[in-house]
Amino acid sequence: MTQFQLTANALDKMKNNEVEDPVLQILQIKQSNTTPPKYAAMISDGTQLTWGYFNREFTQMFEEKKIKLYTVISVSSFFSRILPKRGLIYLISRMTIVGQADKMIGNPKAQRQQPNNQNNQPNQTQTQNQNQNQNQNQNQPQNQPQNQQQNQQQNQQQNQQQNQTQNKFNQNQQQNQQQNWNQNQQQNRSNQNQQQNVNQRMQRPTTHGGEHSVTPISGIENFLYGQFTLRVRVTFKSDKRNFRNNKGQLFNADLIDEEGEEIRITFFNDQVEKYYDYLEKGKAYYVSGASVRQANKAFSPLKNDNELSANSNTIIEACSDENLPYHNFNFDPIDQILVCNPGKFVSVLAIVKQVGQLQDIPTKNRGMTKKLSVLIGDQSGAVIEVTFWGDRANNLKIPTDTEKGYVLALRGSKVGHFNNTNNLSIVSSTQIFHNPEFGPIVQDLRKWWQSGGKDQKTNSLMRSVRSLPENWHIDEEKKTLSAIEEENLGANNPKGDMIFVRATLTHLSRTDRLYYPSCPSCKKRVQEQGGGWFCFKCQQQMNSPQYRYTMTINLADHTGSFQASVFSPHAEELIGMECDQIRNLKEVQGDDSKFQEIMKNAEFKRGHWALKIQENEYEGKSRKKATLLDFHIIDDFRAASKILLKEIQQYL
C-alpha cells in the first residue's frame, strides 16, 4: 500500500505564502447547483483542514471521479480569501493528482479561522496576539490554577510564560506584559477593520499588483461573494440604454486580464452615473466588490460562463496597463459559421467581396432605419452576408472597389438564418476593425486574396427543415394553433419545428413589401447597382430582376390566430396570379380596386397548413416566427369530413 506524506503545517504556511506545491488530502466534496457545476472540497494537511474551491477546469476530473474522497493532490497555485460564513478558504487554480489513499491521513482539526492581515497574509505575531487577547488583567499571578483561569477569564490574566507554553502556535516566549498589552490593543483595532471589510463583502489589496493581491478572471467563482480584485483592460463599452419601462438605465463593458481571459460587467442605475464617464475603452483598472452570476449567452459574445454585476460595494480604480493585452481573438472560419446554430456569437476575419447599396427599411413601429449588406469571404472558400443596421450602416466607410482586398474583422457578430442559409448581423456589442494589423493572420489572408482568392468560386452551404411527407394533409395529425405556444415550438431546434394545422386564412397583407426583386437563379434578393441589378450570392449582374412574393398571412382557428410568412410559389397559388402581374397591376396600371378585389378573393379559405416554427430574438425579446411550407385548401368537404371522422375515431 502506497504511503503518502502530506506537507506538515501546510495550511498555516499557505496563509503566509511560505510553502510551494503543498501536498494535501481531499476529505469531503460538495457540488454547486449551477450549470455547469463547480466543486468545493475539504482539504487537509494531516493536522488542520479547511475548505478549498476549485476552478471550473477541474469539474470534469470531479465528475469522472479522478478526484474523490481521500485523493492526495499537490497544489501549485492558490489564493486565500475570507468568506463571511466560512472564514478563511483557498481558491485552487492549479494542482496535480499525487495518488489515491484508502483512508484519512492524520487526525486533522478545523483550521483556526483567524482573519489574515490586510493582504490576506497573516504573520505569526498576529497568530500569537489572537490567543493572548483572551487575557484582560496584566497583574494576574503566574501560578493560578487553570480552572480558576476559565472562571475569571474576563478579569484576570495568566502569566505570559504559562500562556505561551499552552499555545502550540506561540513562538515568542519572552515578551514583557506591557508589550503584550500594546499589541493586544493594536490587534483589536486590526480585527475590527478586517471585520468591516468582510461585512462589505469585498477585498482591497494594500499594494496593488502584489503577489496574490489580484485574482485572474479564470479564478472567479460566484461563491466568493465579490471578494476578489481584478486587474483588467476595458476592450468594449456599450452606450447607455434605458429599460423598456424607462425606470432605469444600464450599460456594460468587456474586460480582459493579463492571461487573455475575458468577462463582461454590467452597471445599473446609480452605478451607471458613477462609472459610465469614468471607464474608458482601452484603459486599465482594478475592479473589486462586483457580484458574479451566470452569463446569459443570448446577449453576451464572450466565451466566459460567468459575468459580473456592479453594486454599491463595487470599487473601480485606474491602474497601470503593463502586460495587459488589448484583445483576444478567436476567429471562426466562414464555412463553419454557415452550418452553426443561429443565435450564436462569432468572430470572423475576412475580405470584403462586395458592398451593397444603403437602403431605407421600414420598422415595426412605423419608422425607418438604414440597412447595408456586405458580402465577405475567407480562405475556407465560403462567403456570408453581413448586415449592418442604423447608424452603423450609415457611417460604414468601406470602398466599393475591393480589388486590392479590404480586410474586415468582426468580433461578436450574431448568426442569423434567412431563406435556408445563415447570415451575420451587427448588433450593439459587435466590435468592427477596418484593415486591422493583427500580424501573420492578416498577412496570410491578404496573400490568399491576391494569389487567386478574389477569383475563387464560393461555396454555398444551406440548411433546411426536414422535407414534407407525402399526403401530409391526409396522414399527418393536425394540431391547433395554440400548440405553437403550448409546446414551445422552435425554442430548442434552431432549424425549426414543423406543425400541421387546420385553420382559416383570414387576412392577406397588402403592404408595399408584398414582393421583392430577386435573382432568377438563386431566388435571393438583388440590389440595384450601376444601372442594373447585382446578385451577391451568384456574383452576377443582370438587366432586370424577377419579382417574388414575400407576404404575411393570418391563420385562425377556435383556439386563436397566428401570422405566417409566405413566399413564392405558394403565394402565387394562394392569390392566383404571378408576382409580375400583381406588380404591373399595382405599380404600372395603378388599378387599386382590382388589386384589392384579387386579394379579397384569396381570403377566408379553410385548409390544412404545414408551418415551420422558429424562435429568434428581436430587440432583446424572443419571438416565434412561422413560415408556410405547404398548404391544401379544403374544397371537397365530404372528403374532409371523412378525414375528420377518422381522426375522431382515434380518440374513441
- Read off the pLDDT of residues 326-345 as tens digits, 9 standing for 90 and up: 888 788 899 888 877 778 88
Q: Can you give the pLDDT at residue 195?
A: 41
Highest-confidence range of 31-35, 366-370, 412-416, 633-637, by mean pLDDT?
412-416
Quickly state the pLDDT bin for 638 (edges 50, 70, 90). Answer: confident
Average pLDDT over residues 278-287: 92
Max mean pLDDT range (14-23, 68-77, 494-503): 68-77
Average pLDDT in the chain: 76
Q: How many CA atoms, within 13 angstroms, populate the side-chain half-sphere of residue 352?
A: 24
**158 secondary structure, DSSP code:** -
- 120-129, 421-430, 574-583, 605-614: least confidently modelled range: 120-129
Per-residue pLDDT reduced to its tens digit, 64-99 = 899 998 999 999 888 777 766 567 788 888 889 999
> Considering just the CA atoms, what is the radius of gyration of the chain in Å?
34
Backbone angles phi, psi at 13, to 5 degrees: -70, -30
How many other CB atoms are there within 10 angstroms of residue 160's CB atom? 22
Cα–Cα distance for residue pair 422/351, rounded to 1 Å: 18
Residue whose cell numbers read 397583407: 509
Q: Which residues contact 642 (CB under 8 A, 6 or more apart)?
A: none
**Mean pLDDT of the 120-139 span:** 39
Interval 527-577: pLDDT, tens:
887 778 888 777 778 888 888 888 899 999 999 999 999 988 888 888 888
- Give which of 409, 355, 613 is closest to 495, Cα–Cα: 613
Residue 84: what pLDDT? 60
- The pairing of strands 383-389 and 421-425 is parallel
Can you list the positions of beta strands (E) in 356-399? 359-362, 368-377, 383-389
Asked if 170 and 12 touch (Cβ cutoff 8 Å), the reply is no
Predicted confidence at residue 365, as pLDDT, reads 62
In the sheet where 527-529 sits, what is the strand order?
Answer: 527-529, 532-535, 540-542
> What pLDDT does 390 receive?
86
From residue 185, give the alpha-carbon distance in Å to each of 116, 130, 167: 17, 11, 20
Please give the pLDDT value at position 312: 87
pLDDT band at 164 (very low <50, low <70, confident <90, very high): very low
**E strand intervals along 210-344:** 229-237, 241-242, 249-256, 262-268, 284-288, 291-294, 306-309, 315-318
pTM above 0.75, yes or no: no
Is pLDDT at 596 greater than 80 in this prediction? yes
- pLDDT tier, 138 (very low <50, low <70, confident <90, very high otherwise): very low
Query: With 60 as the cut, is the pLDDT of residue 415 above it?
Result: yes
Cell representation of residue 638:
365530404
Give the pLDDT confidence score for residue 151 in this predicted structure.
Answer: 44
Q: Check pLDDT > 60 for residue 56.
A: yes
Share of the chain above pLDDT 70, in %: 74
Confidence of residue 267 (pLDDT cuts 50, 70, 90): very high
pLDDT at 374: 87
pLDDT higher than 60, residue 579: yes
pLDDT at 178 over 60: no
Q: Mean per-residue pLDDT for 616-627? A: 74
Pair 95, 73: CB distance under 8 Å: yes
> What DSSP character marks residue 252?
E
**Which of the four pLDDT bands, split at 50, 70 and 90, describes residue 622?**
confident
